[in-house]
Each structure stands twice: as C-alpha cells, then as structure tokens.
Structure 1
C-alpha cells in the first residue's frame, strides 16, 4: 500500500497544533491536569480547556467544556478540587475580568469561587485544601468591601487619559492598572470570604511578574512568604527583598534584604524549617545569574550553587526528605531538569532537554513538559527508564509532515572562543545540492536559540521553504556561563557581529551553500542585530534582511517600558554620555546601509515601541534602500493572532524569495 504524501509544514500546519501547558499533579501523583489550547485559523483565535491525564498513560479526559480561556489549573492538596483561572458566564452574566473557578476532578459544572471585583492574576492553595492565596490589583487606600464600587466607577468613566507619577507604569503591552497595587489576598472557598493581607500597608508584590512564583505558603498555613520591592519607588532595576506575613493578624517582617542582592521565588521546605529562594548578586554585576539560596529559622542564609556557573530558574521544588531542590536551568543551548543536593551543592540531571519548559513534583512522581527542535511541547512522567509519554495530542497531525534534521556545530567566534550554532536542514537535505541560508538571530540578548520548539519563529517552517536555517548563540547568550553572557556589556553589537560573521564565513566553505543566497532575520535584539549588520557589513554579503520589532535608536528607545535598565547594559544614559550610547545604536551608523530589508512591528509593543521600526523603515526609504513595512495595529512585541502570523510568514517568505530565491530542486 503506497505511503501517504507528506504535506508542507507551513504556518497553517503550525497553527493547527494543540498547545500543551504546564502540568499540575494530583496529591497522590496518579493524575495530571493541564491546559490545552487549540488555535483556529478560521476564528482567528485560540480556545483553551482543561484535560486530565493518568501518569500511567492512556487516553486523556477533557474536564472543562463551557469555558473559552480556562487556564492555570492547580490541584487541591486534598485532591477533591481543581482551581483554575477563567473568564466565563456565571450566574447569568459574563466575567468582566478573570476569575477563580473550582471544579471536581470527576467532572460536573465549574463554580466561581468568589466574585473578585478586580479579577485575579495568580493563586496558590493553602495546605488545608480549603483556602487559597491569590494576587489581585486593588486600590491600596480602599478596604476590600469598597473595591467593587470603585471598579464599577472606573469602568463607567468617560475620560481615556492615563495619569501617573510612577517610574514603572507599563509593562510589555499593558498599562499597569492606574492607581492600583498588586496585593496578596486569602479566599475561603467554602464561604467565599476574602481578606486583603496587604490592606492598610504600603506593601505590594512586584509589578513586572504577576505569577505565583513570587510567594509561597508555609506548610502549617499560618504564614506566607513573598518577594517585594522595598524601594520607595518601584522600578525594573530595583533589588527585591523577602518578607513573611502572618495570615491571622497580617503582621509582617522582612526576612532577607541586602542592597547588593536581588531575592525572588521563595519556597518553603516540607518541614517549614528552611526557605529556598533565588539570589542574584546584582551589586557585583547586573547580569549576575540566579543562584540557589537557603535561609534557616535563625535568619542565616547561604548560597548552595556558588560553584555552579548556570542560571537557575523558578519554580523551586523540595524533594520529599528536604535534602535536595529540583529546578530547571539552561546548559549550552539546552534546558534540563536538575536536582541539587544539600548542603553539598552536588547537581544531578533528572531529565535532559531539548527544552524542559515546566514540571511538577509530588512525592516521587515528576511530570515534565518538554519540547525540542523536532516536536512541540509534550508531557512525560519520569521513570527509571527515562521519560514516558502520557499524552499524544499532536501525534496524528505531526505524522502528516516531514521535518528537517538539526545539527549542532561549534565554530570559533569572537575572542577566539567557540560559539554554538544550530543548523536546521530542509527535509530531504542532499549535501550534493546548493541551498540558500537564513540566519535566525535570537532576541534578548541574554537568551539563546536552543533545542526547542518556537511557536512564533518556527525553525521547521523556515526550513520547509528550502532554507538551511542557522541559529548562532553569539556572545551575550545565556546557558554558556556568566563570563560569556556578560562579555557584550557596554559594547553591544561588536562581539555578536563577529560571531555571526564567523559562522557565515564557515558556511561559505560548505559545498552545499549557495553564496548568493544568504539572508538574515531577527526579532527584538535580533532585529537590532540585522539593523546593525545593515550598517556595518558590506552590501552583497547578505541578500536580504528581516527586522521584526528591532531596536534602532537607543536615545528614542527611552520611551520603552524598561528604560531605567538601559544604562546598565549600554554603560550610560543617553543624556550623560551621548557618544557611548550612540556608538551602540544602528541609527548612528546607518548611512551606508544598502541591503533590502523587510521591517515588521506591532503598535502595542511597549518593550520596543513601534516608532523604532517606523524610524528604521523611514530611514531606509530615505536612503533609497528597498524596504517593505508590515505594521500590526493589534499586536504587541510578538505576533500572536493566527491570521496575522500567517500573513507575517507569507510576507517574510515573499521578501526572501524576491531577493534570495529559494532552492527549487529538492531530494526525493
């Protein structure tokens, strides 16, 4: 029987895949609940619902049906309920803001836990399985009972102006709620009663990270530890402290504060005797990695990972005996799950990536969400024989397509140091033929292109067009140690360009590369880099550039949401040392640019305001350089709507085909 022909893996195929979220395990470890989102190109939106999975395998069971955006499920410690966040219709009316819902794991109707007038950002269960701690934006001068009336008045106001005197007033794509602060609350799920633990104080949770990693509940349920900004004026460059608040009387005390250190992601041990947390020595260097710290009941703290040159990520989870902590961390372009033993600091790898995106741990049962360059996120339970799949949401769809192989290469780059480069080859790659090359340059700059699935810049979608996709983890990238990451500080563009150019030179030595069809594309800092390349690389070496949401002019970038952070990376504020800032701006060098460039940007981008992309596009047009603009009035730093994404891919491929035509012949 002849095999079915494989379909191209294009933007439509990418958006047909289900997106599997972070797992939450039942107390006995027997089941996991997960949010699964299903995009629709026809509806131009995604719908999400909750599914139950047995950690022994088998078919999943859909738990919620009526919701549209059910997400962030967490199992009650008693195992009788699952809490999640959603906007639904309840009691005959729609939720104006996300609310907290409860559902039994055996199904039935979900019920709203309480009507929270300002909505909810994140939550955690108390150990008793009855109470929930949650974070919500409130007017700090009002008691909880007055919040609903104020919210109603806010929605009814006719003025549109946003008025503030805060340093930190917007983030990513949202204006922070005007006049409000993020407070911790306690909800009694049996009665619906809510208490604001920060009421009447100046305390607030961090304005940038609204997740539940910022706080944790003691095993006895009497105290909550939280990370907060102790400075009089919140700012993205401030260093956080850790405090603890008594649930009964709302008395709080600072546990850990140091002007040189940033503390975050606290987690109580099972016994309650110790507190694990992330500690970054910002006083030594603003790029200092997150290390693992432990605080005892006497107020003494120590670093457990001082000799481990990797950046540790939240969440932190204690093992059953409180003798080790489990976490995820990057290492040389991959992200693994690790276990650090206490007090020795010895590290074991529990699950190798690819990319371990999330995990949950109950007793000896551990479930991981993991992906790679060859497959989107999936869920597996860790066994002695390795990860065991417990879901197959995308297997049937993925089987329709062929995917390109990925290769890892190490090439000598700037300062004579080896630089990791991923090559994703077209399906059916034949080294006897010639192929165009497309550099995909990652953002950050302190991130990396790893062995991971990318939903917005998908390597396989690019490779399917016939390109050899090159992803250089240039100097400044994460996962290769602090010295490598910090090497570009105060001299952006210099070493990164040397690395990309070294890889291009190496590629030109490969017999399967068509030297006349090499292009480069990047977003955010990657967009900055392609603008920098246009200004610094002789025309003709690269046939075309794609600049998405790229930084162009660092003085004008002072309009972004993280402006108070610039001077740490650039070495100065633009008004203190204009020359220092200008020499790192593509705008100061762009007069010689000649390479055709596609510029794309979203109007709701506060990280890199769209004026950056518009200024770059206008500059290219003024210089007579072939340029095309794709501007999205309804997108942020990322392109998130299915049809917008499909259009973006089409524009990119049409632009590259015009200036660097793809290979027509392919292997059979």
Structure 2
C-alpha cells in the first residue's frame, strides 16, 4: 500500500547520503491526467518493495487547488494509464485484476468513480488492451489490442486466445522481418487493431476488421491515434508496408467510426508521419514529421494540416530542435504544446503558428509529461536533485507541487551539488559535461572521477534524476561523477547529433578524453583514480576505449549491455539501422564495419573490466557481453561478469538492482588504489 504523503519536512539539516536502499524506498510518480475542470489530477504511483522484489502501482487523486491527495485504488497490482472521462464522473485505467470472481489473463480496462468505491471491468477484451482514449461522449473508448487479423468477431478472437494459451509448444516460427522487440517476441500472426468499446454495455467493435490496416507493432500507445472532437472520426498513424519495418515510413489516415471507411490524410515518400492530434474545432490536425528518406537522423518536426487532407506543411523546419510526442493544441487553436530537449535539459514549449515561434513554457530539469485542461497545466519533471514531481501551473505563471511523495525522505539527504561545465572537444566544438560532486565536497582534497557514459548514442544526460544509473548514488560513494554529452548526443542541434554517423567511436572518444584532460587539470582530482563506465552505447564506448586508450589512464571500466561486435550485433531487434549508422552492411564493406567495432582491437585490451548483461536484452543481445567477457579472460585481463537471466536492456527488479549497484561499487573499490588491498585482481 502506498504511504500517505507527508507535507511537513523535518527541520534538521540533511545528514544522510543516498544509497541503493534509500533509492528503492522512494515512490515513483507517473504522469497526471486532469479532470475536465482542471481541479483534480489522477496519476499512478509505484511503490517498490525490496522484500517482495516487486513494485505495486495504485492510482492517486491530487488537487490542483491545494487539497490533500487521496489514494483512489488499493486492490490492484499494476494500475496504470489513468484518464478522467469527459464528464469527470469516471476514471478509466488499465490493470490485471479479479472482478466478479474472474481473474484477468490479459490487461483490461477498468472504471472507478473519482469519489471512490470499487473499480469495475468495462468489458472483456480477450486479447488485452495496450492503450486507450475516451470518446467525447464519455460512453465509449477507443483502444488498441493485438488480434488475429483473419478472424472476425470477439468470440473468434477469444477462442483463438484460449487455444493459444493452452498450447504446449514453446517454439516461435515466423517469416516476419521484425519478430522481437526490446525484451519480447511480437505475437506471431497477430497485429495491432483499433477498437471501440462501449463502457456501459461492454460491446466491442474492431474498426480494422477485414482490412489490411494495422498500427505500430513496436510501441503501440495512445499517441498512435486521436479521436475527433465530434467523436465521428479517428486519425491514426500507420505503415501500409505489410512487412512493418521498424524503420518504416508512416502516413496519417482517418477512419469514419460509423461506416469504417478510411481516407488518406497525409503522406509523402520521404517522410515519416506520427502522433496525430485534432484541434478543438475539428478543422485541423497537428502531427510529427521526419524526413527520414533524406537522412535517417533528421529530427521530428511539427506539421499541421487541414482535416480534409487537402493541404499540410511542416511548420518548425527552421527550428533546430526535435519535437517530441505527445502534442496538445492550446485552447485558442493558435499554438501547440510539446516537449523538446535543449542542451541537456527537456522543457515544455509552446509553438505559435501565426509567427512560427517556439518559446519555453516550463523549464526543466527534465520534463517527462504534461497535460493542460481549462487553463490549468500540470507537469511531471525531475532534476539531478529530486525524482519526478508533479506541479500545477496557473495562467498567471505561478506553480505549486500538488504531491509530496518522498519529501520526508529527501529532506534527510545531502545529495551534493551538480554543475554544468563546457570544454573544447572534437572538431573544436564546445562540449557539455555535467559534474555531480560528493556530499561535503572539499576542493582542497583529492577525489576519484567516475565517467558515466550515456547510451543511444542519440540521447543526452543532463539535469535529470534517473532511477537505474543514479548519479547521486554514485557521487555519494565519494566520486566526482562526470557525464559528457559527446558528439552524437541529442539536444545540441542536428549537425552535432549527425556528426558521428558512419564513424562511430572517433569523435565520442575525443570528447571523453578531452573531458578527462579537463578534469586532470583540477587540483581536486586524483589522477590515479579515474574510472569509466557506460551502458548500451556507453558500454560500446568503454569497450572501444579499452582498445584505443593507453594502459593506466583509467583504473577500470564497467561495461553494461555494451555493443561489442557490429557483425554479431546483427542479431539485435534494430538491425535495419546498422547500414544507416555504420555506412554499409557488414557483407558489403567488412573492413568499414570492423573499423568501428571494439572487437577488432581486442589485441590492445589492457584495462580491468566488469561486464554486465541481461539475457532478455534484444536491443543488445547478451552474446555481445559474453563475447567481450570471454575475450578479456582469454587475454588474461582482470574481469568479472554479472549476468541476469530475467532482465532486459535495463535492470528493473529491486533485488537485481541492489545486486547491480553492489557489484558496480565493489568493482570500483577493488581497483581503487585508495581502498583496495594488495594488487587488483587478487
């Protein structure tokens, strides 16, 4: 059960430092959805349990006017994606529960009144619910579900699902080009269809039944579609290519809910169009548009078109930022709200259409979600100094926290300071680095340095909390933690992001090495105690460094889920991007691929390395980590392996996370001249 929020913080000065146990005592607040009058917000709050080795999620009601938060659901295990109905009389959410003596086998849609009571199942969707949105009438929802496309009717789908669950075979047989994603195999022979569910009668209608239409198989969510203000039409983003490539090019279409007739709204051969959203009058739509046919790294821009499909245009092409879903129209219909990154932060922006101008509405930190209704805006954002928090923003610019989860715990902690610095890196460009100092940092003392090299590569660490790689937990161990936004990182413009294409490793290494040089000039840095760690592409980077950096510069490396051999990496779920990023298919130009692959330089490996990987990682298959570890062993280099049979690209279970941090810190201590006893490796 979620703890009751405590508004009164202790008056004593912070004394404790953050560790993994305290990190897993914190509640994790999700995105909020506002009531029609903007007076209330509902969100999911996850409460981890190290003892149970899992987390439970419940819904909470929060007042934007200053009232006390109230827990709305208690009986579920993973209550998520809450949304107020258009009349505000119900909250719909997704869960797997027991209702009427029947336990859910798949995720279902539930309804509960905001003033409390028992939640009820809205209807039975045998194939489960992925995402949903309310119709304006408050009686129906549109939802996504994986179905067998050749079957007609809910009974046939239910029968097929029962038979599939009962089968004894475990093999996966497929002819699809994309058959697994992230940590799961895509349901064989099934596709994602758009449905309408009457929440009063439970009647379910498959709008795509009997047609070749389908939605994204990789991450189907409620940004894939949007319902018109009159409830008669649904705009959706889809790829007509039956192979559904992971790097396909979507178009925007509209389906008439009553007749099921579909019409094309927008398409262009070189453009990938996603995340459509209707304006309040139903006359125009906005969506995201990326000209990936010209270059795969080009960002999403804001596009606007009329509801007839006669005209549309990209309106933010002169603004060198990537627009990120979801989009939301302002009530006046003259601007669109969205999140976008800028120099290691993520803000909420308003893009005014008459003058094509973007302005920051709410500054990050790192903005994770927002929703605006009736003039009230609610945001979910974190920073390096606090986990995600919800705030209500009024039209006059004032803002206030509307929840106080974790406040008592955070008040006890001395998290240390965070600083943004810039230095000259590759190509003579200015490069950003975030430094997280240990609590009680004293510039007259010597400190070890811990690089945390980010993945992606086209992402950006910044003023952000991060539950899995928490820089404050690292700093609390006594390290100055350095996070470099190397060339290739997002949030610094397209040229900076695209600069590493077809030459991975080169500029990124120059930047990390320049950062280390910058740090070594500081009197408070102990040059004998420099460490480099990274995950995913950051793991690639430390493996790359092991083959390119002279022995002794770094005391040890940690490689989490790192890319090691680009030819063998062709087993991943994103193989269709390889040639675009590396410059060729491995069979076309083996030398070019090998030149960008850490395994090519195994003869130069010399630095002790901890290798971490999960068996369910399909983005970077675990054979990458095992091959790297085996190579280190064959070369007689001090190394250690941490392998999880039940984790994916991320380590998500509480006990496994504790083990991850424990091994992480033990490896650093083992190779730290100030803490190790005897020779490293003994």
Q: Could you say whether these structures have the same fold, taking a TM-score greater than 0.5 normalized by the shorter chain as the test?
A: yes
- The CA RMSD over aligned residues, in Å, is 1.2
Shift of 1:57: 2.2
Give, in whole Å, the separation in 1 of the partners of 2:343 and 2:14: 36
Shift of 1:348: 1.6
The answer to whether the aligner puts 1:319 opposite 2:316 as a matched pair is: no
Aligned partner of 2:299 in structure 1 is 289
Aligned partner of 1:274 in structure 2 is 284
Shift of 1:4: 6.9
Aligned partner of 1:156 in structure 2 is 166
Aligned partner of 2:564 in structure 1 is 552
8 Å CA contact 2:183, 2:618 repeated in 1: yes
The answer to whether the aligner puts 1:491 opposite 2:496 as a matched pair is: no
Aligned partner of 2:450 in structure 1 is 438
Q: 1:416 aligns with which of 428, 438, 441?
A: 428
Aligned partner of 2:151 in structure 1 is 142
8 Å CA contact 2:370, 2:377 repeated in 1: yes
Q: SS where residue 158 of structure 1 aligns?
A: coil
The answer to whether the aligner puts 1:367 opposite 2:378 as a matched pair is: yes
8 Å CA contact 1:434, 1:663 repeated in 2: no
Aligned partner of 1:351 in structure 2 is 362
**Structure 1 residues 42 and 4 mapped into 2: Cα distance closer, same or farther (>3 Å)?**
farther
Q: Normalised by the size of structure 1, how large is the TM-score?
A: 0.98
Aligned partner of 2:679 in structure 1 is none
Deviations 1:234-286 (A, max 9, x none): 11121111111110011101211111000000000000110100000112210
Shift of 1:296: 1.1
Q: 1:241 aligns with which of 246, 251, 265?
A: 251
Q: 2:141 aligns with which of 132, 143, 147?
A: 132
**Structure 1 residues 364 and 409 mapped into 2: Cα distance closer, same or farther (>3 Å)?**
same
8 Å CA contact 1:436, 1:663 repeated in 2: no
The answer to whether the aligner puts 1:635 opposite 2:667 as a matched pair is: no
8 Å CA contact 1:436, 1:662 repeated in 2: no
Shift of 1:8: 2.8
Q: 1:583 aligns with which of 589, 595, 598?
A: 595
Aligned partner of 2:125 in structure 1 is 116
8 Å CA contact 1:435, 1:662 repeated in 2: no
Shift of 1:399: 1.4
8 Å CA contact 1:528, 1:547 repeated in 2: yes
Deviations 1:598-654 (A, max 9, x none): 000000000000000000000000011100000000000000000100011010101
8 Å CA contact 2:14, 2:414 repeated in 1: no
The answer to whether the aligner puts 1:522 opposite 2:522 as a matched pair is: no
Give, in whole Å, the separation in 2 of the partners of 1:2 and 1:282: 54
Aligned partner of 2:416 in structure 1 is 404
Aligned partner of 1:253 in structure 2 is 263
Deviations 1:76-106 (A, max 9, x none): 1111100000011111121111110000000
The answer to whether the aligner puts 1:454 opposite 2:466 as a matched pair is: yes
8 Å CA contact 1:435, 1:468 repeated in 2: yes
Give, in whole Å, the separation in 2 of the partners of 1:480 and 1:57: 38
**Structure 1 residues 198 and 544 mapped into 2: Cα distance closer, same or farther (>3 Å)?**
same
Q: 1:191 aligns with which of 153, 176, 201?
A: 201
Deviations 1:293-327 (A, max 9, x none): 00113521111111110001001000111010000
The answer to whether the aligner puts 1:651 opposite 2:663 as a matched pair is: yes
Shift of 1:363: 2.4
Aligned partner of 2:351 in structure 1 is 340
Shift of 1:5: 6.9
8 Å CA contact 2:669, 2:675 repeated in 1: no
Shift of 1:466: 0.1
Aligned partner of 2:54 in structure 1 is 45
Give, in whole Å, the separation in 1 of the partners of 2:573 and 2:359: 38
8 Å CA contact 2:18, 2:414 repeated in 1: yes
Q: SS where residue 31 of structure 2 aligns?
A: coil
Q: 1:103 aligns with which of 85, 93, 112?
A: 112
Q: Normalised by the size of structure 2, how large is the TM-score?
A: 0.96
Give, in whole Å, the separation in 1 of the partners of 2:397 and 2:461: 28
Q: SS where residue 212 of structure 1 aligns?
A: coil
**After alignment, is 342-351 or 326-335 more displaced?**
342-351
Give, in whole Å, the separation in 2 of the partners of 1:456 and 1:186: 37
Aligned partner of 2:616 in structure 1 is 604
Give, in whole Å, the separation in 2 of the partners of 1:362 and 1:653: 46
Give, in whole Å, the separation in 2 of the partners of 1:36 and 1:582: 46
Aligned residues: 664
Deviations 1:167-209 (A, max 9, x none): 1111100100111000000001111000000000111001112
Aligned partner of 1:28 in structure 2 is 37
Q: 1:174 aligns with which of 160, 169, 184?
A: 184
Aligned partner of 2:316 in structure 1 is 305
Give, in whole Å, the separation in 2 of the partners of 1:456 and 1:236: 26
8 Å CA contact 1:422, 1:470 repeated in 2: yes
Aligned partner of 1:7 in structure 2 is 16
